[in-house]
Chain A
Amino acid sequence: MKQSKHPGQGKEKTMQVVFAACACISIIAIFLICIFLFANGLPGMAKIGFGKFLGGTVWRPANNLYGILPMIVASIEVTIGALIIGIVIGVLTAIFLAFFCPKKLYAVLKPGINLLAGIPSVVYGFFGLMVVVPMIRNTAGGAGLSMLAACIILGIMILPTIITMSETALRAVPTSYYEGSLGLGATHERSIFRVVVPAAKSGIFAGIILGVGRAIGETMAVIMIAGNQAVMPHSLFAGVRTMTANIVLEMGYATDLHRQALIATAVVLFVFILIINICFSIFKNKGDNH
């Protein structure tokens, strides 16, 4: 009781309000982002026509044609391609790290994966230009700047996300599962793949969804290697332009409706991200309850 009459009481109360106010800033930020994006993007979208904007296959700002379907399709296809690479290598690497990796190798590999997560996307783009693009050019012909190049680089970029999340999920599975399976006569490998991995399913899915978000939102690396042609993607070896690339490439000189159309592209991307985020929290909660 004495404490409540302490002279510092006013300060205590003030600081508690300051702390609470700071905690509210992330809420305010999300609201502001939503308001600014929708308020600036939706009018443009309405002017163009929602159907024409989302379903139009021709993007030609000079002729007032703003169809972003090619970009939406490109973003989705590039993401799927990246996922195929990222999931296969990522989940297997996570299993390797959690159950097979010798301690000395682990001490090198784990910081290596953290480094992979920290490399800036422009540097990934540069690596793509130097290694992946020439490789595709030499084997398949063409410019090499292609959807395939984007898939490979994005697949590498989402590796650390998938590996880290999956490893955490795998390690969280109680050892009794593994031991029980061993006791029933299964091999080390079989116990891991048939018992531990299925038990860690939710956490692994959460990591994959986080990877989807990273892949669909990645901008700089994609701009440098995907070719950026704003046409319907028709082949793995053809150039494509994603939604993110569309925004950065043209925002610098766009005015009026063109600019609004680009902001509207950001709105579409934002809606994709929100859906991905909702999926992520569903899977994450499932994993936590588990």
Chain B
Amino acid sequence: MKTSNVEISNQTPHGKGEAKVLKALVWAAGIITMAVLLVIVLTVLINGLPHIKPSLFSIHYNTKNVSLFPAMINTLTMVGLSLLFAAPIGIFSAVYLAEYAKRGSKFVAFIRLTSETLTGIPSIIFGIFGMLMFVDACHMGYSMLAGALTLALMILPVIMRATEEALHAVPDSYREGSFGLGAGKLRTIFKIVLPAATPGILAGVILGVGRVVGETAALIYTAGTVAQIPKNIMGSGRTLAVHMYSLWTEGMNVDQSYATAVVLLVVVIILNLISDLIAKKVNKANQ
């Protein structure tokens, strides 16, 4: 008893000093993180904004106007195409995992392991795989389609995971109510469960869109680096992020590359705002 008393009385002043240091440390870390973000945003804006000119948005790219308009259209195409593959497959996989599969089955554990592994694979590996499989083995050549298929694999686990979580958050009473009214399982899923889970699914899809918009390494050797809008999806075309990188490596139009950074950043900020809004909606609904 006596010794422990002594320890406690020794500890109190020591503990106060320690507390101050620790508090200062965590505050410093929080401030550094915030400052880093601010500096990044400001650097991009200060260096890029002065180079944004109307000629950058000309319909066709040539070496004089260095237009980023084709790259914007290509980015939209790439987003649409990769979602066309990844969204249905991702949502359906999640439906299987959440609504059909037995909890704790080995098959489910295996699917989860593979989708987690997919999440961890760096984009350059996807790029090389896409080049070997879609561009070479499937004879697609450098094309929007090859790029979109590669990116679809990249965003598949993102959409799967968000959808699964959203489906789990739908209360069982919804399903029971629907069954009670005589609806089959399929009808219940499509008419009751999926609509209720839509905001969560949307959040996952937007996360996927963000990844497509920012992707470079997986696209250079799958969709190629042509600076025009391709005639069809079998043509090569570069998205904004690839456009920015290509301009920088070519070294001739670095200013326009900085301007592209601004456009990219604005797109990413808008996507983030949308997903935040949806997340707030989801939280409110759950409360």
Contact = CB atoms under 8 A, between A and B. Distances in A.
Contacts of B40: 116, 119, 123-124, 127, 156
Contacts of A136: none
A46 interface: no
A41 to B, nearest CB: 9
Contacts of B213: 120
Contacts of A112: 33-34, 37
Contacts, number: 252
Nearest to A263: B128
A247 interface: yes
Contacts of B33: 89, 93, 109, 112-113, 116, 159, 163
A286 interface: no
A219 B123 contact: yes
A92 interface: yes
A95 B26 contact: yes
Nearest to B25: A92
A1 B85 CA distance: 37
A20 B133 contact: no
Q: How large is the interface on B (under 10, 10 to 19, 20 to 34, 35 or more residues)?
A: 35 or more
A100 interface: yes
B191 interface: no
B118 A8 contact: no
Contacts of A185: 8, 11-12
Contacts of B156: 25-26, 29
B140 interface: no
B129 to A, nearest CB: 5
Interface in B25-41: 25-30, 32-34, 36-37, 39-40
Interface in B104-158: 110-111, 113-118, 120-129, 131-133, 137, 153, 156-157
Interface in B75-108: 88-90, 92-93, 95-97, 99-101
B128 A274 contact: no
B169 interface: no
Contact of B244 (A109, A122, A193, A276): A122
Interface string A80-117: 00000000110011011101110001001101111110
A26 B114 contact: yes
A26 B245 CA distance: 30
Contact of A18 (B92, B97, B124): B92
Contacts of A88: 29
Interface stretch (B13-21, B50-58, B60-68): B13-21
Given A27-B111, A123-B265, A186 B100 contact: no
Contact of B268 (A97, A119, A247): A119
Interface stretch (A30-38, A50-58, A137-145, A171-179): A30-38
A89 B73 CA distance: 38
Interface string A168-191: 000000000000000001111110
B93 A22 contact: yes
B118 A224 contact: no
Given A27-B114, A251-B128, 7 more contacts: A23-B96, A93-B26, A120-B215, A122-B241, A122-B245, A270-B121, A274-B117
30 contacts: A6-B184, A8-B186, A20-B100, A23-B97, A24-B111, A25-B156, A26-B156, A33-B125, A37-B125, A92-B25, A92-B26, A97-B30, A101-B30, A114-B275, A115-B268, A115-B269, A116-B37, A118-B210, A118-B271, A121-B217, A122-B214, A122-B244, A127-B44, A159-B33, A217-B121, A217-B123, A217-B125, A219-B216, A244-B122, A266-B125
